[in-house]
Structure 1
Amino acid sequence: MAVLNKIRQRSVFLIVIIALALFSFVLADLIRNGGAISQKAANVIATINGNDIDRTDFAKKVEAASRNFGPNGSSIQAVNYVWNQEVRQIVFDEQFKELGVKVGADEVSQLLEDALANNPTFQNEAGVFDKAKMQEYVATVKENPVAYQQWIDYKNSLGKGALETKYLNMVKAGVGATLKEGELAYKMENDKVDIKYVQLPYSGIEDTEVIVSDAEIKTYIDKHSELYKAEASRDMRYVFFKEEPSQEDENALNTEMAKIISGFKTAEKVEEYVAEQNSAVKYADRFVFKKDLPATVADTLYNVPVGEVYGPYKDGQFIKVSKVVANTQLPDSLKASHILVSWKGLSTAGDVERTKDQAKVLADSLLSVIKVDKSKFLTLAKDFSADTSNKDKGGDLGYFPPGRMVPPFNDYIIENNVGDMGVVETAFGYHIISVEDKKNLQKAVKIATVAQEIEASEETINAIFTETTKFQIATKNSDFEEKAKESEYTVRPVNKISELADNIPGLGSQRSIVQWAFKEETKTGDVKRFEVKDGYAVVQLTAKAEKGVQKVVDASPAIKPILIKEKKAEMLKSKISGSTLDDIAKNQSQTVKTASALNMKTPTISGAGNEPKLVGAAFALETGKISEPIVGNNGVYVIEVVKKTPADGLDTYMSYAAQESKSKASTVNSGVFNALKEAAEIEDKRASFY
């Protein structure tokens, strides 16, 4: 009782203690999971101007984009596509809201009508768009949530496109050109100047004579840092261990294939025998020429007697055993013409409504006409043939090798003489065939082949894995390059891989390797083994470069030629001496050249190239005066203006102003988006999720 009394007396105290314990439990759970803020952050893939992009919604769009890209598209391509769409939508939506740009329901309806006008699904019997047909379609797809959502998305996309068009048209309206700008454009095109000049080309000084230091390159980068921005990147190197069959695997398969020779030789039904052996190559019941046989064994196989078996032999990644089934004499080149008569239901039918029986009657009728007068083949092919690829050529198929056409078509030409005509049925319809020519009669053979792919055995696969593991362990505390040399492995460097890259040269799409290289815990020098297509890659991270300005070593290939040209210009300027062009040319072993009718719109000088600075200086120089040295694109110049010919002028410069307006407007679509994107505050976390 005493104990119970004490508990009652301290009940408030106990409640506080329990509450604190519960709070600490919840707090500890929040801390362990990163807190509520981190939980939210984990579901945000990017933030653009304060707008969060939800990870789940983004993933759904990436999945849809991946389906559209098909098997040839990578996941990161889909990610980048969706990303650009999201950025575009957010930065443009902000502009729409700020300016009050809207698209009404009536506008969207009209856009739908315009977009669907030529779709037969929404046309009436007269072939005209019918709004009732569209409403009927929408009512039908509502029963299918996926299809209905696709319809809504399509409708929304038209509205968004219209909004963007309105906004961009407003921008275009503000980037027109005045009549004064039109006049300037006219003058730049039509004012002319004639000059004499001496060129001291940069090529006159070897690059090796000019020294550019790293300090000079660094100074140049500092002055032009905006031009030499660098994204975060990683350098790595790897050794690829390919899972491929060993010589022992190939020898074992050779032994196995040799066991079938006697059975293959006595087999009467070769097609069944090839199938029973699970051959990687199916039996082809056709004749082939020597050139069609495997190059390494063509001479031997071509001359094997009928019924005999040759092999085993290696052909690429296969071990093969071949039996010569038959031989004959065939022309290696055939020529024919045809008229294809199709019927409803065939892929070649188009709008044809005739039945198969009607097609047969028509084909026989056409054949009868052609047999009487072959000259009518040309016009009848144009009028009746369903083969649009050659109907306008009178059905002429040109020359082709035996076996190129479908079997019934091919067999007819082989079995008949030049000049014969007949009707043959194939999966495409009825063909009225005329055999035009056959040439180069020669021996052809029919070959049955059992082929098995040379594959790595389990022992070989295990050995490759062991070899890979040993190399990986050996490089943990040793030089990667040296260890590779010891075992004669090829080390492949991979430089400047970006955070969202997914392709590793030589390995293909390997997103996991890129993600590993960019992990904070991955240090320079770390080595890891990755399972890749056809084997393993042991990869070492060799360098990290964070976002910022390019390093000297990276920017050097672009900047060094610029500085070399600048130094050459100073060297050439210092060599110039003389008061006339003739003196200057003579002193530098050059000649005085002339250039006539130069204009500022296309400042190209024959024999010197594109030189806008030179042409601009010529228009600013008085006639008869000699210029100071002019540093151009291809050398240093001294010029003398011989004659200036101003353009006559126009009554109005409206047409030139219109051209300038059109030229400026053509850059708006891409320019506006790029400007909005550059001005946006973007926190991109894609690399953390993909």
Structure 2
Amino acid sequence: MAIMGYLRDRMGKIVAGVIGLSLFAFIATEAVRSGGSFFKGDNNELGSVGDEKIPLDKFNAAVEQNLAQFKAQSGQSRTTSQITTYIQENTWNQLVSKAILSKEVDKLGLTVGGVETQSMMTGSNPNPRVVQAFTDPQTGKFDPQAVANAQTAIKSMKDGDPQKEQWSNFVTDLIDAKRAEKYMALVSNGVYINSLDAKDNYDAKNKLANFKYALLEYSAISDDKVKLTDADYSNYYDEHKNEFKNQQESRAISYVAFNAAPSKADSAVVKDQLTKLLPDFIASKDDSLFVQINSETKTPLTWQRKGELDPKIDSIVFKQDPGFIYGPYQSGGSYKMSKLVAVRMFPDSVKARHILIAPGEAGGMEKAMARADSLKKLIETGKANFAALATTFSADKASGVKGGDLGTFGRGAMVQPFDDAVFEGKKGDLKIVTTQYGVHLIEIQDQKGSSKVVKIATVDKPLTASSATQSAAYSKAQKFLASVNKDNFDAEATKEGLKIQKADDIQGTASTLPGLFEARDLVRWIFKADKGEIGDQVFTADDQYVVAKVTEIKPKGILSLDLVKDKIKPEVIKQVKGKMLADKFTAAANGSSSIDQIAQKAGTKVTPVQNIVFANPVIPGSSAEYKPVGTVFGLPVNKISKPIAGQQGVYVLVVDSFINPAPLTNAVREKEQMTNILLQRAEGQLFEALKDKDNVKDNRARVL
């Protein structure tokens, strides 16, 4: 029974880990992004990897598990749309990466045997997920015997038992992750740096160049003096075409938002609601019950130190006496009233030991309490030693072998009932406390330090817009929607004095847009609409009512010149200026025998630079200048370069001298450093290649 109870306590951790073990779960977060149209013949198809479909129901189940894990770890019962979107994105990437890797691993025949699987469970280097699931939260120590006990319990279960199925999924996922790890080991072992690579890298970091340069800055020519032609745009676009690859379809909109946020009148109403509660709050004898009945947020009353309270009251209440009430005050989208319930001094840390009685082993909670009480009496009467009893009776074997010793810990290190007992008691106390782990007999051995703590009862009411405020904003939005079409959207907005806002490069899975929160319904429509189409309804985004028009659709793949023309205009202007400045330098070089003469004719100056290395191509007083510095390291000494377009302007350079480094004596170390850098890139680049090869299709924009 104890084993079964133990397993049930940890099954939440085990289930949460089922989806989260793919080797590439985080690498894939940015790498796996692709678009595609929704296959209408299969409404359960969220996407696919090659021929393997990713079903919507499987995805939703995985999201629910990951959400449950997040809530358990964060202690939050609710999640924001941003958190939900993040978890959905990670879940998608986990499923895609797992599908891609499974295909590659199967091709190579990589397996994980039974001995290897058991080693991941109870070996000298167990899998981190196993360690996480079977670590005692009180001692922080991993217990291999607990894993063995859980395996024994699982074997005794009947087929079809949910816990047995969850355990099977957990182990399968561990095996899949191990296979993926072996696959990456093969890739890593294929990364090789030879001696010439090592020497080149060493020289790039240590060879010094001393040179002079003349610079004509782009800013010397005003933008309005540059007349761009179609050929200018085409030339730049053709040279940089691969930079305009869209990993997945994106869209842009223009929109007008009508604010439905709470008005001053709404704020006054909420504040008045709290003010009316004030007399009863003052007279209340049970502040915890008062909070439960009257507050939107049912926050339990706990001891808190300075710095842990709402900033609005943190610097105030520690100077007051119990009964002091502050508010109503506005904080975090709510009006609040806070009452100082109690003040006392708490130790900063406690040293304690305990004996844990597991109800499952004792025959129930009542018998566990009785056993703890009997042990307490034996210690109090001097008939038994605490340490000896802990060794014999404690279900917490990790601390039991040390006489129940838990060491010294601060507030919050233990579960709350345990914490309350040791911090509210005094040195030498013996206390019996129940927690989710069982019944604890605790001895407070020492307490150190002393800080003032307070208990605060807070009643809050959310600041929400009234129906009148919402109705007024919605009516304005509806009126505007009725007046516009795809041809007069901007004109009508200007006529009504409304601000037109834009949102560019919208991703299909987004739940928020610039200035708009909780906007998933709007995004879903955006990816169903055609270019120029105006929404057939007013969309709600948090406290905004929105009327929107799709202005641009950027498909997956290399974007056309028309779609990037506005974005590349500044760089095209710079390129045209570069040609003008280069021509000026070329004319100045005609008949000149030195860089000083060229600079004088061009109307600029010569600047000397010392000790520049190829690996750090920064010219003092400027930014990184890759082309000019790269040119320097390819120039013979005293030879004047041709004009070189850089980031800041156009350069002409001449090398005075090079200072070669000492010969490379430790090629092995240089190779190791380069190999580590390549390995860091290899995983992401490999996954990107596999993703393209396996033709990942993503229908989430139209399905979720």
Same fold (TM over 0.5): yes
Residue 178 of structure 2: aligned partner: 162
User: Of 502, 526, 534, which aligns to 1:517?
Assistant: 526
Amino acid at match of 1:233: S
Paired residue secondary structure (1:509): coil
CA distance in 2, matches of 1:146, 1:284: 37
- Cα displacement (A) at 1:246: 5.5
Residue 110 of structure 1: aligned partner: 119
Between 51-60 and 453-462, the greater mean CA deviation after superposition: 453-462
Contact persistence 1:318–1:451 (CA under 8 A)? yes
Contact persistence 2:122–2:148 (CA under 8 A)? no
Residue 538 of structure 2: aligned partner: 529
User: Of 161, 175, 178, which aligns to 2:191?
Assistant: 175
Amino acid at match of 2:250: S
Amino acid at match of 1:185: N
Amino acid at match of 1:46: G
Residue 677 of structure 1: aligned partner: 691
Matches within 5 A, 1:348-363: none
- Cα displacement (A) at 1:634: 3.9
Paired residue secondary structure (2:178): helix
- Cα displacement (A) at 1:524: 1.6
The two structures, once aligned, show a CA RMSD in angstroms of 5.7
User: Of 191, 197, 219, which aligns to 2:212?
Assistant: 197
Residue 656 of structure 2: aligned partner: 642
Residue 208 of structure 1: aligned partner: 223
Matches within 5 A, 1:143-542: 145-190=161-206, 192-202=207-217, 205-208=220-223, 211=226, 213=228, 215=230, 216-230=232-246, 231-243=248-260, 278=294, 341=352, 343-344=354-355, 387-389=408-410, 462-475=471-484, 479-481=488-490, 490-520=499-529, 524-534=533-543, 536-542=545-551
- Cα displacement (A) at 1:464: 5.0
Amino acid at match of 1:169: A
Kindly provide the CA deviation profile for residues 519-557 of structure 1, in whole angstroms up to 9, marking residues without a partner as x: 257862344223443464343444444445155464544
Amino acid at match of 1:682: V
Q: Where does structure 1 lack aligned partners over 5 or more consecutive residues?
A: 1-37, 347-352, 363-383, 391-404, 413-420, 439-445
Q: Where does structure 2 lack aligned partners over 5 or more consecutive residues?
A: 1-38, 72-78, 136-140, 358-371, 383-404, 412-418, 434-441
Q: Provide closer, same or farther for how the CA distance between residues 655 and 139 of structure 1 changes in structure 2, counting only shifts above 3 A.
A: same
Contact persistence 1:338–1:431 (CA under 8 A)? no
Q: Provide closer, same or farther for how the CA distance between residues 117 and 137 of structure 1 changes in structure 2, counting only shifts above 3 A.
A: farther
Q: Provide closer, same or farther for how the CA distance between residues 457 and 585 of structure 1 changes in structure 2, counting only shifts above 3 A.
A: closer
User: Of 584, 606, 609, which aligns to 2:598?
Assistant: 584
CA distance in 2, matches of 1:324, 1:55: 50
Contact persistence 1:234–1:498 (CA under 8 A)? yes
CA distance in 2, matches of 1:434, 1:105: 50
Contact persistence 1:595–1:605 (CA under 8 A)? no
Residue 61 of structure 1: aligned partner: 62
Kindly provide the CA deviation profile for residues 325-359 of structure 1, in whole angstroms up to 9, marking residues without a partner as x: 99xxx99xx9987755565569xxxxxx9987899
Amino acid at match of 2:610: A
User: Of 558, 567, 571, which aligns to 1:561?
Assistant: 571
- Cα displacement (A) at 1:204: 5.8
Paired residue secondary structure (1:57): helix
TM-score, normalisation: structure 1: 0.65
CA distance in 2, matches of 1:155, 1:284: 41
Amino acid at match of 2:596: D
Between 521-530 and 219-228, the greater mean CA deviation after superposition: 521-530
Larger Rg: 1
Amino acid at match of 1:184: D
- Cα displacement (A) at 1:88: 2.4
- Cα displacement (A) at 1:261: 8.7
Paired residue secondary structure (2:506): strand
Amino acid at match of 2:211: K
| 1:574 and 2:584 are equivalent in the alignment | yes
Residue 664 of structure 1: aligned partner: 678
Amino acid at match of 1:688: R
- Cα displacement (A) at 1:322: 11
Q: Provide closer, same or farther for how the CA distance between residues 556 and 637 of structure 1 changes in structure 2, counting only shifts above 3 A.
A: same
CA distance in 2, matches of 1:41, 1:448: 54
Between 56-65 and 254-263, the greater mean CA deviation after superposition: 254-263
Matches within 5 A, 1:562-641: 563-565=573-575, 567-568=577-578, 570-572=580-582, 574-575=584-585, 576-577=588-589, 578-587=592-601, 588-596=603-611, 598-607=612-621, 610-641=624-655
Taking only the aligned residue pairs, the percentage that are identical comes to 22
Paired residue secondary structure (2:482): helix
- Cα displacement (A) at 1:410: 10
- Cα displacement (A) at 1:571: 1.0
Residue 81 of structure 1: aligned partner: 90
Paired residue secondary structure (1:503): coil
Kindly provide the CA deviation profile for residues 95-131 of structure 1, in whole angstroms up to 9, marking residues without a partner as x: 33444444444433433444648968989x9976699
Q: Provide closer, same or farther for how the CA distance between residues 543 and 426 of structure 1 changes in structure 2, counting only shifts above 3 A.
A: farther
Contact persistence 1:122–1:131 (CA under 8 A)? yes
Amino acid at match of 1:162: K
CA distance in 2, matches of 1:484, 1:48: 44
Q: Provide closer, same or farther for how the CA distance between residues 452 and 200 of structure 1 changes in structure 2, counting only shifts above 3 A.
A: closer
Amino acid at match of 1:528: Q
Q: How many residues are aligned here?
A: 587
User: Of 79, 100, 103, which aligns to 1:94?
Assistant: 103
Q: Provide closer, same or farther for how the CA distance between residues 533 and 609 of structure 1 changes in structure 2, counting only shifts above 3 A.
A: closer
CA distance in 1, matches of 2:262, 2:448: 52
Contact persistence 2:274–2:337 (CA under 8 A)? yes
CA distance in 1, matches of 2:152, 2:88: 36
Residue 367 of structure 1: aligned partner: none
Paired residue secondary structure (1:494): strand
CA distance in 2, matches of 1:513, 1:173: 48
Contact persistence 1:214–1:552 (CA under 8 A)? no
Q: Provide closer, same or farther for how the CA distance between residues 138 and 630 of structure 1 changes in structure 2, counting only shifts above 3 A.
A: same
CA distance in 1, matches of 2:292, 2:120: 61
Matches within 5 A, 1:1-16: none
- Cα displacement (A) at 1:211: 1.7
Contact persistence 1:628–1:638 (CA under 8 A)? yes
Kindly provide the CA deviation profile for residues 25-80 of structure 1, in whole angstroms up to 9, marking residues without a partner as x: xxxxxxxxxxxxx8854443334333333444344334333433442465544443
Kindly provide the CA deviation profile for residues 191-239 of structure 1, in whole angstroms up to 9, marking residues without a partner as x: x354331231525624436525262224422443222134433333444
CA distance in 1, matches of 2:153, 2:456: 56
Contact persistence 1:527–1:539 (CA under 8 A)? no
CA distance in 1, matches of 2:460, 2:689: 60
Q: Provide closer, same or farther for how the CA distance between residues 498 and 648 of structure 1 changes in structure 2, counting only shifts above 3 A.
A: closer
CA distance in 2, matches of 1:180, 1:169: 25
Residue 701 of structure 2: aligned partner: 687
Amino acid at match of 2:116: E
- Cα displacement (A) at 1:683: 3.5
CA distance in 2, matches of 1:262, 1:111: 62
- Cα displacement (A) at 1:674: 0.9
CA distance in 2, matches of 1:677, 1:586: 55
Paired residue secondary structure (2:539): strand
Q: Provide closer, same or farther for how the CA distance between residues 565 and 686 of structure 1 changes in structure 2, counting only shifts above 3 A.
A: same
CA distance in 1, matches of 2:609, 2:292: 83
